[in-house]
Amino acid sequence: MLFGATVSAAEPELYFITPVDGATVESPVTVRFGLRNFGVAPAGVEKAGAGHHHLVVDADLPPLDQPIPATEHYIHFGGGQTETSVELEPGKHTLQLLMGDHRHIPHDTPVVSEKITITVK
């Protein structure tokens, strides 16, 4: 009996539901995380095809082979949260999402959103 090639799962997609790129918003900023073809699991829970969100504020991505730092620029959502409210000073800010595994380390193929820019009034 012959079998076809294994079909891999669709590529994960991590994105912002709100705010959208280029938006002008007021602080606190409500940030909603979107995710397709990947699961959400709290920190400390090892589950294939899943992880938890990290919000990168006004910074570049951290090293992708080490645990994501926990600072004002790298906000962890280890409880599996999919939205937050962030206080930001008036002006332009960049936001990016990065999934981490149960140890807060990005996956072998990083699951990362596009970086967006917003303006806080």
Residue at 6 is within a domain = no
Could you count the other beta carbons within 10 Å of the beta carbon of residue 121? 8
Give the CATH number for residue 67: 2.60.40.10
Does residue 60 lie in a domain region? yes
| Residue 46 domain-assigned (yes or no) | yes
The predicted-structure confidence for 54-92, as pLDDT tens digits, reads as follows 999 999 999 999 999 999 999 999 999 999 999 999 999
Q: pTM of this prediction?
A: 0.91
Of 1 and 77, the structure prediction assigns the larger pLDDT to 77
8 inside domain: no
Whether 80 is covered by a domain: the verdict is yes
Q: How far does the chain reach from its first CA to its final CA, in angstroms?
A: 65
Q: Is residue 1 part of a domain?
A: no
The number of domains in the chain is: 1
Say what the pLDDT of residue 8 is.
40
Q: Is the pLDDT of residue 3 over 80?
A: no
Q: Which domain holds residue 61?
A: 13-120
Q: How far is CA 69 from the centre of its chain?
A: 14
Cβ pair 87, 26 in contact under 8 A: no
pLDDT in tens, 37-52: 999 999 999 998 999 9
DSSP-derived secondary structure letter, 32: E
Q: Answer yes or no: is 7 within a domain.
A: no
